[in-house]
Structure 1
């Protein structure tokens, strides 16, 4: 796949997917010692602390989360050895959710918060090494607990495709939008069907080599047991029963969420 405008970095190191794919630089790994170093971060969620944890009155800030994120990213890109091939942020990028309303008036806040939070997160990422690609995927705060066409469009405008694949150093990575699998996603059933059709095609073309297919997503399939009761922090049982055997057969042995 040739790089397109949609593939080019946002800032220095933040990549966005177009046509459900990202082209990244690849480094050769030894066949004798297949070492793959990645950094996974999750839930930077700029704005959560003051709004939800500390219950401060407006205006909310996120300087604490910003400073913490900068420290963590500095460690990840400057001190992890061997140098990581990629940094992947698995959802809840910012706290303010995209509006469910055509008027763009937030249910629980001012849309200006979301715009500013996204800008600050992109700026923070751009300050670090452009030789280490940074990749993001959506969580519930990025596309809403009950995603809508509007919330999905807002995410794609800000970050690129909400599910996609990329290859690096002989490994295939599938990045999924798990909000399309929650029970509340009925309004966007057609988008769920599109992701599932795409995922089936990706699994069909998999090499089936165990361990060479790696999955990234926001909500885990389960927390402790495959058959545990479904809830807010895991995916429905029907999703687990349908997709986990298929992922395993295709070679997936690791799902990071």
Structure 2
């Protein structure tokens, strides 16, 4: 009787383990939006809102697991623009996670700008998991500029979170606003990238902790690089694209072994 019970228990544990593994390894998709930036040009504010609304409709139709927005939610952070952003964002039928950009919290954030963002939008850095992947949403302004107390706190959180997620032996995706670099890892610091020492530090941390991709915005043009096995992608926006590419977003497809992305354009007749 005891032997039979042990067999039943072992079988039940195996079934449970297989079912959990299957759930973890289930393929999924998510969307990368960049620089919705309502009001980039004053005369185009309503167009920015309409393009964001169209993106929400098309994304809902695709039914990804979630959406990430890589910063610059609005051009000028105030009660009106943030209210408009949140009203459109509320139309998503799936979770939406946001990284702040320089237009949301300032080129050099202050305690006032950070408090306003946190009170109005929510957390400026966080982590979550989805079907065997770890996602870390960062406040890249605290890497671009050294903000007393805040940058150190953010750094410690990021390193601890990255290490914890890496110990789980599952792929990691990091989300921010600033690209690490635009053309080469050794390029000089400029408006569109990180300081060289911080960039090198982050790339080393990414390699050590199974980071598969770093998603960003800010460039307002398609910028795709590959560093070792890490994809670095700043995609097209729904506000202004300096390289004249169509408005749209990136659809990512994830499996345990692969992470791929493709461009989805906004329907042309609705963005003219």
Query: Residue 50 of structure 2: which of 48, 62, 67 is its match?
Result: 67
- Residue in structure 2 matched with residue 49 of structure 1 by the alignment: 41
Cα distance between partner residues in 1 of 2:27 and 2:150: 36
Alpha-carbon offset, residue 189 of structure 1: 2.4
- Report Cα offsets for 1:167-215 as digits up to 9, x if no partner: 1111110111111112xx34x2210000111111112212457761110
Asked if 2 retains the 8 angstrom alpha-carbon contact of 1:29 and 1:35, the reply is no
Worse-matched range after superposition: 232-241 or 34-43: 34-43
Contact conserved, 1:147 with 1:180, CA < 8 A, in 2?
yes
Q: Secondary structure at the match of 1:253?
A: strand
- Residue 93 of structure 1 aligns to a residue whose secondary structure is coil
Alpha-carbon distance change, 210 to 30 in structure 1, aligned in 2, over 3 angstroms: closer
* Higher relative strand content: 2
1:87 paired to 2:51: no
Q: What is the match of residue 197 of structure 2?
A: 238
Q: Which residue of 2 aligns with 1:39?
A: 31
State yes or no: 1:172 paired with 2:134. Answer: yes
Is 2:124 the counterpart of 1:148? no
CA distance in 2, matches of 1:128, 1:42: 16
The aligned residue for residue 124 of structure 1 is 88
Q: Take 2:38 and 2:23, find their aligned partners in 1: how far apart are those partners?
A: 36
Between structure 1 and structure 2, the one with the greater Rg is: 2
Shift in alpha-carbon separation, 1:29–1:220, aligned structure 2, 3 A: farther
Work out the CA distance in 2 between the residues paired with 1:203 and 1:189. Answer: 22
Judged with a 3 Å threshold, the aligned counterparts in structure 2 of structure 1 residues 30 and 166 are, in CA distance, closer, same or farther, namely: closer
- Residue 39 of structure 1: SS of its match in structure 2? strand
Aligned residue pairs, count: 196
Moved over 2 A (4+): 28-31, 206-211
Gaps of 5+ in 2: 1-21, 217-272
Per the alignment, do residues 245 and 119 of structure 1 end up closer, same or farther by CA in structure 2, a change over 3 Å counting?
same
The correspondence for 2:150, drawn from 191, 194, 197, is 191
The answer to whether the 8 A contact 1:41-1:87 is kept is yes
- What's the C-alpha RMSD, in Å, of the aligned pairs? 2.0
> Retained in 2: the 8 A contact 1:49–1:65?
no
* TM-score relative to the length of structure 2: 0.68
Unmatched runs of 5 consecutive residues or more in structure 1: 1-27, 51-55, 98-113
What secondary structure is seen at the aligned counterpart in 2 of 1:151? Answer: helix
Residue of 168, 181, 184 corresponding to 2:143: 181
